[in-house]
Amino acid sequence: MLDALNREAGEAQAQALADIAPDFADMVHEFAFGDIYSRPGLGMRERMIATISVLAAMGNASPQLEAHIQSALNTGLSREEITEVLMQVSVYAGFPATVNALTIAKRVFARQPETGRD
C-alpha cells in the first residue's frame, strides 16, 4: 500500500531510521499501511483527507505532513482540495497550524508539475 501511495517517502523513512531502529520503520509500515490503510470502509481519498487533517492539526509532524500531502496528490486529490482541507483545519486547530500546513503544501505543490485539473 505504501508503495502505491508514496514509495519515496517510505524508503526515506526506513533509511532515516535504519541505523537506530530498523525494525521500527517496518512496524510503522506494516501496521499503518498494511493494516489500517488496507481496511475496507473508506476510500483512499477519504483516508488522505483524514490523514492530512490530523497531521496539520497536530502541528508537530511537518515531515509526515509533507509526505502525506504528496501521497494525497498521488491518490488524485487536487491542489484545491488539499488547500480546502487545510483551510478547514483552521477552524479547529487554529491559524498557526494552518499557516504551517499551507506552507508545507506550497512546497510540495512547487515540486509537482501543473496538471490542469486544479
Quick: pLDDT tens for 41-72. Answer: 999 999 999 999 999 999 999 999 999 999 99
Residues 68 and 113 in one domain: yes
When divided into structural domains, the chain yields a total of 2
Instruction: Choose among 96, 35, 25: nearest CA to 60.
Output: 96
Residues 96 and 111: their CA atoms lie apart, in Å, by: 23
Q: Between 1 and 8, where is the model more confident?
A: 8
* Model pLDDT, residue 3: 59
Contact predicate 79/118, CB 8 Å:
yes
Residues with Cβ within 8 Å of 76's Cβ and at least 6 positions away in sequence, in order, are 45
Question: Can you say how many angstroms the Cα of residue 64 is from the centroid of all Cα atoms in its chain?
Answer: 6
| Single pTM value for the model | 0.81
pLDDT at position 15 over 90 = no
* Residue numbers of the domain that contains 116: 43-118
Task: Report the CATH number that the domain containing residue 87 is assigned in CATH.
Answer: 1.20.1290.10
* Model pLDDT, residue 115: 60
